[in-house]
Structure 1
Amino acid sequence: MKTLLPTALVGSLPKPAWLAQPETLWSPWALEGDALVEGKQDALRCAVHEQRRRGIDIVSDGEQTRQHFVTTFIEHLSGVDFERRETVRIRDRYDASVPTVVGAVERVKPVFVEDATFLRQQTDLPIKWALPGPMTMIDTLADHHYKSREKLAWEFATILNREAKELEAAGVDIIQFDEPAFNVFFDEVRDWGMATLERAVEGLRAETVVHICYGYGIKANTDWKATLGSEWRQYEQSFPLLQRSSIDIISLESHNSRIPLDVVELVRGKKVMLGAIDVANNTIERPEEVADTLRKALRFVDADKLIPSSNCGMAPLPRDVALAKMSALSAGAEIIRTEVAMAV
């Protein structure tokens, strides 16, 4: 029987200390060579085990085999020089040293397919795999070849589509595209960003998700959030476009945010992956808190289209906190399942 309100994680889980430095974003690997390959697989096994043990219904890799949700994918492409770095403004929010596009970008070989195949072997539950979206990819690079954000985004969209089709063939049920840039570059989203995302999902039979978040709890993001006022309504720019798109599932953060839940009404008819777990602090939600967030969301999305999730990735959190938050997510979803069943 299909699970009502299936739970899922948006992205990362903390890596074990023997693989990378805990509570540190994008920390270098502690292993190398064959030991690193084995260590990544062991970490992925642990992530699957903990998700299953704590009641997560749609299993992901927890990003155990990658350091960064964008650059790990880009590292496998030709045409990008990681030795030639420049400082650019990321999402109009903070400066970062990034690699440079020096030639035509091409996917020389599959990037995540081997890891996804390994994930598929670990569980019979539905599995989800995340890829960076085209707009967020171009916002994480200095471009000296295409000299056009739109042209580079179209190239990435075509590359992502090939990768997504091979992930689908490897048994991935849900393919997620991370597009935090959609919360910033509204004119570009309207003019060509949505079109490039549609190109990335073209021809897929697997369900597709777009995840648009406000970012991790790092200082640059929390400082930005502090400027957004009493209500965060950035989703009002992209949601009407997404409602008319071929994307199946819209992922948004909600718990402990200033996002009015009525924005969910703008994607009525789509499945909604609703963030009911805050990833910006170490406080472990009570199941009833999670249930309350989901209960409020049900005014704007039908129960059979609601997927309770985390707001974003949990890599910066202590491992025990992240695991406890997973348990809270599952327990809160179970409260609402019971209420929905009783109301029928």
Structure 2
Amino acid sequence: MTGRQPSDSARRLLPTSTAGSLPKPAWLAEPEKLWSPWQLHGDALAEGKQDALRISVHEQEQAGIDILSDGEQTRQHFVTTFIEHLSGVDFENRETVRIRDRYDASVPTVVGSVGREKPVFVDDARFLRAQTDRPIKWALPGPMTMIDTLADRHYGSREKLAWEFAGILNEEAKELEAAGVDIIQFDEPSFNVFFDDVQDWGVAALERAAEGLRAETAVHICYGYGITANTDWKATLGAEWRQYEKTFPMIRESSIDIVSLECQHSHVPMDLIELIRGKKVMLGAIDVASTAVESADEVADVLRKALEFVEPELLIPSTNCGMAPLSREVAQGKLAALSAGADIVRRELAPRAG
């Protein structure tokens, strides 16, 4: 894809990664807060974003993370920052909508035909590529999650708008691939909520967004950031969280290469991973809804359980979701624990590999 030789990080067993966002420096944005406004403006903001991205890369490398991301340092939110660069969306004319049937939020409104007039994240991806020789991953919002983060006053159909977004995402993804991105991830937490839509058109729209890519593709399906609305919702789900049971069989039959899911301190039955046998599994072994830093042994225990249902060469230890609402100190500790836990299991697997 990029002409580079595979790095040691790319070749080794159980390469670690993150599911999404990492905390921003306090001088860039108010810490531990979603949709946090920027502290800088103009040229200073552009420079500050690049500085934060450099720091994020360094901190991931220091923690021993193998597949690096931008940590979403250049965007306020994993969905709306992409949307704000599109035509046909009015950010002044906002409405309050129910996000994933869980909490209310003030969101922009679709008032005309949506379109992508220029690349959104491609320059940032090139900058990330220049900072490291390790594999890099870039996250984009998935079509279904995009339509769930908007008010629509133009299309009148969730499905029609999702297909429009899928084509736009495909354009962006192809340019990200050309910029040197190794894995393109689509974030679809909505897949854990709108099961009929997932079956009727959600997976097909996701495949349209990933169509024609040579880079590996991933879909991230979790139970959300560690914010009150999400933790309160999870408290209502009972002793077993079986949402994945509805979507995994469809994703197994899809063209998507990697499935990112939540496992640490969750009530997801581990055997549900069997439903995506043959796919790469980006396994959430770090709880993003707690400030307690996992021990390496806790991480290793989750990975061992997962290995009953996924081959070692297909397992990518990761975080449950993004860590933007956490402090930088806690997030760094969790990344180090992820790396240390993966090291424990690698050593255990080494005699088998030999």
**TM bucket normalised to smaller:** over 0.9
Q: Does 1:51 align with 2:60?
A: yes
- Among candidates 95, 115, 123, match of residue 106 of structure 1: 115
After superposition, give the CA deviation of every residue in 1:217-268 in whole Å (9 maximum; x if it has no partner): 2111111111100000000111000000000000001000000000100000
Alignment-mate amino acid for residue 294 of structure 1 = L
Corresponding residue number in structure 1 for 2:178: 169
After superposition, residues 258-297 of structure 1 pair within 5 angstroms as: 258-297=267-306
After superposition, give the CA deviation of every residue in 1:170-201 in whole Å (9 maximum; x if it has no partner): 00000000000000000000000011001000
- Among candidates 53, 64, 75, match of residue 66 of structure 1: 75
TM-score by length of 2: 0.97
Q: Does 1:201 align with 2:215?
A: no
Corresponding residue number in structure 1 for 2:34: 25
Corresponding residue number in structure 1 for 2:19: 10
Cα deviation, residue 23, structure 1:
1.0
Corresponding residue number in structure 1 for 2:150: 141
After superposition, residues 33-44 of structure 1 pair within 5 angstroms as: 33-44=42-53
SS in 2 for 1:60: coil
Alignment-mate amino acid for residue 83 of structure 2 = I
- Among candidates 250, 254, 258, match of residue 263 of structure 2: 254
SS in 1 for 2:285: strand
Identity of matched residues, %: 76
TM-score by length of 1: 0.99
Cα deviation, residue 95, structure 1:
1.1
- Among candidates 78, 87, 93, match of residue 102 of structure 2: 93
Cα deviation, residue 26, structure 1:
1.4
After superposition, give the CA deviation of every residue in 1:152-172 in whole Å (9 maximum; x if it has no partner): 000000000000000000000
Q: CA RMSD in A?
A: 0.6
Corresponding residue number in structure 1 for 2:163: 154
Q: Does 1:79 align with 2:82?
A: no
Q: Quote the Cα distance in structure 2 between the aligned partners of 1:297 and 1:43.
A: 34
Residues 17-26 or 76-85, more deviating: 17-26
Q: Does 1:327 align with 2:326?
A: no
Q: How many residues align?
A: 344
Cα deviation, residue 343, structure 1:
2.8
Alignment-mate amino acid for residue 132 of structure 2 = T
Corresponding residue number in structure 1 for 2:141: 132
Q: Quote the Cα distance in structure 1 between the aligned partners of 2:63 and 2:106.
A: 38
Q: Quote the Cα distance in structure 2 between the aligned partners of 1:176 and 1:319.
A: 23
Q: Which runs of 4+ in 1 moved over 2 A?
A: none
Alignment-mate amino acid for residue 307 of structure 1 = I
Q: Quote the Cα distance in structure 2 between the aligned partners of 1:245 and 1:3.
A: 26
Alignment-mate amino acid for residue 13 of structure 1 = L
Q: Quote the Cα distance in structure 2 between the aligned partners of 1:92 and 1:21.
A: 27
Alignment-mate amino acid for residue 59 of structure 2 = E
After superposition, residues 310-325 of structure 1 pair within 5 angstroms as: 310-325=319-334
Q: Quote the Cα distance in structure 2 between the aligned partners of 1:221 and 1:286.
A: 24
Unaligned runs of 5+ in 1: none
Alignment-mate amino acid for residue 340 of structure 1 = L
Q: Quote the Cα distance in structure 2 between the aligned partners of 1:314 and 1:342.
A: 34
Alignment-mate amino acid for residue 148 of structure 2 = D
Corresponding residue number in structure 2 for 1:245: 254
Cα deviation, residue 342, structure 1:
2.0
